[in-house]
Amino acid sequence: MSIIIPANSAVGGGFNVDNSLRFNSGSSEYLNKTFGTPTSNQKCTYSGWTKRSKITDAGGQYLLTYYGNYSNAMYFNGAGTGVGSNDQFVLYCDPTIRFYTNRLFRDPSAWYHVVVAIDTTQGTASNRVKIYINGVRETSFLTETYPSQNGTLAGLFGGTGAAHNIGRGQATGANSYFGGYMSEIAFIDGLQLDPTSFGEFDEDSGVWKPIDVSGLTFGNNGFYQQYKQSGTGTNASGLGADTSGNDNHFAVNNLTAVDQSTDTCTNNFATINPLNVPSSNLPTFSEGNLVSITNTSTGSYKWGGCTTIGMTSGKFYCEAKATIDSTYSRNVIGITGDSANLARTNGTILNTTASCGYYSSNGSVAYNGAGDVSGYNTSYATGDIIGIAFDLDNGKLYFSKNGTFLNSGNPTSGSTGTGAVSINAASTTPDGAYFFAQSDDTGTSSPSKFEFNFGSPSYAISSGNADGSGFGNFEYAVPSGYFALCTKNLAEYG
């Protein structure tokens, strides 16, 4: 199970990235553009940050393709896309460039920085193509094919006459759309650059982080996508806007303003973890792992997942929009300190362990393996937004419905815990940390569905409320002293 805990988070300094673009692989979401004459068809550099949501996808997960020829692409491998294993990084550019890494990239909590730098004029073959992940050059490959010296690559990224796609797969066969987040996409036409043109190692944490690239020379077909705008037009106000100065704006396909995210490579927000799941009765995740649906099988309670970020101290807040209808009828949301066991057993957060707390759609609230607590009994329906305020410092858990806390709860009451349920100290949890989590509460085939908002929502917010640090976008006011679950807040308050 891959998670982020306070020990491996860092306070980001220097250059900050404000936005990313969230791609939902099931919705045919992508950007595309057809280019004119390049500065060079021998030299180019791609740089981009990505956080994967869909792991081990049979169709592959495509970052960038030259759509006129499906053989020109960079992607994370799938079982149906070629040789090797799921989740290798693959560069397949013209028949003369083929690379499959031995290393696998399966961490849905991590931002990866990918740099591909090509220069066919180099005398040494190994210098003609360089691949870097998080500032380190990849040198171990299952397949490693370099172009001939001075080769002219008809299918080079940035080339003439065919559509280039961000987030979309090959032209023939089943299209493979990317599922996850992208930010800081830069393409340099005419130069082979090192990763230090795009990032640096933090001197305190040693973590690879982005730097300002706006001063680079981008070349004729170069572009820089920062996702600062939220429009759907092919212009400077669109999601595919080019901020390099070249006005190489990409067309927007099936993406909207709600797909503009603040989950970035400099402030990583929690999502639901697709790795911490049972071996059967698997939940379904979408929208950057912010929408979770439990399995429809009958029998045991079904696990809907928990966050990629764990909490050991501090005060954190999240929201989730419920769907309650004839299909999704038994929703349960809350926190757990025993997520690994619950996932293994396909158990529920209802009453499996003594380190949990939940709020069910039928109105019941319970905690620490005990029965329902009196004084709550407020059901919720489709469209209702459930808030969770978790005070780990005092072991108090509060639930709200559409901005009103249950049982006259007051999340700022500290150790008094007005209207709260009391949760065991984090140090006693089997996982050593707490996680926001979801399940259903029935053994029937009725699943549970929530659209989570840990500060970067997958649904439209009508009001807009940030936490005390200025992070997050919530429907209702964040209680004083509580924070969105992201790495900057985790490092400061967790």
Domain boundaries, the chain: 17-261, 284-493
The pair phi, psi for residue 471, each rounded to 5°, is: -100, 150
pLDDT at 6: 47
Per the DSSP assignment, residues forming a β-bridge with 404 are 401
Q: Can you point out the beta strands (E) in 105-206?
A: 112-119, 129-133, 136-137, 141-145, 163-166, 180-189, 199-201
- Token readout for 477 is 């006011």
pLDDT at 303: 86
How far are the Cα atoms of 51, 183, 428, 482 from residue 102, in angstroms, in the given order? 19, 25, 39, 42
**Residues contacting 178, CB < 8 A, separation 6+:** 23, 25, 30, 54, 61, 62, 63, 167, 168
Question: How many other C-beta atoms lie within 10 A of the C-beta of residue 235?
Answer: 15
Query: d(Cα 472, Cα 478) in Å, to the nearest integer?
Result: 9
User: Does this chain's domain 17-261 share its CATH topology with 284-493?
Assistant: yes
Instruction: List, as own/partner pairs, every contact residues 415-418 make where C-beta atoms lie below 8 angstroms and the sequence separation is at least 24, other chains included.
Output: 417/391
Spatial CA neighbour of 1 closest among 283, 282, 304, 305: 305
Q: Return the sign of the alpha-carbon dihedral for residues 425, 430, 436, 440.
A: negative
Spatial CA neighbour of 312 closest among 2, 6, 3: 6
Q: Kindly state the helix (H) or strand (E) to which residue 100 belongs, with its residue range.
A: strand 97-104
β pairing state of 260-261 and 396-401:
unpaired
The pair phi, psi for residue 165, each rounded to 5°, is: -125, 135
Using DSSP, how many helices (H) and how many strands (E) does the chain show? 2, 31
Domain 284-493 carries which CATH code? Answer: 2.60.120.920
Domain 17-261 has CATH 3.40.640.10: no
CB-CB contact of 488 with 316 (8 Å): no
The pair phi, psi for residue 341, each rounded to 5°, is: -65, -40
**Residues contacting 4, CB < 8 A, separation 6+:** 109, 268, 270, 308, 309, 310, 487, 490
CB-CB contact of 241 with 233 (8 Å): no
Q: What is the dihedral of CA 482, 488, 491, 494, to 10 degrees?
A: 20
Residue-level pLDDT, tens digit, the chain, 494 residues: 556 654 444 445 689 999 999 999 888 899 999 998 899 989 999 999 999 998 887 778 899 988 655 568 899 988 655 566 789 999 988 678 999 999 999 999 999 999 999 999 999 999 999 999 999 999 999 999 999 999 887 666 767 777 889 998 765 445 678 999 999 999 999 999 999 999 999 998 899 999 999 999 999 999 999 999 999 999 999 999 999 999 999 999 999 999 999 999 999 999 999 999 888 888 999 999 999 998 887 666 788 999 999 999 999 999 999 998 777 667 889 999 888 888 877 766 655 566 888 999 989 898 877 778 888 989 999 999 999 999 999 999 999 999 999 999 999 999 999 999 988 766 667 888 999 999 887 766 778 899 999 999 999 999 999 999 999 999 999 999 999 999 999 999 98
Q: Kindly state the helix (H) or strand (E) to which residue 343 belongs, with its residue range.
A: helix 339-345
- Token readout for 259 is 């797909």
pLDDT at 454: 98
Q: Kindly state the helix (H) or strand (E) to which residue 103 belongs, with its residue range.
A: strand 97-104
Per the DSSP assignment, residues forming a β-bridge with 494 are none
**Sheet strands side by side (includes 163-166):** 141-145, 97-104, 88-93, 73-76, 61-66, 163-166, 30-34, 251-253
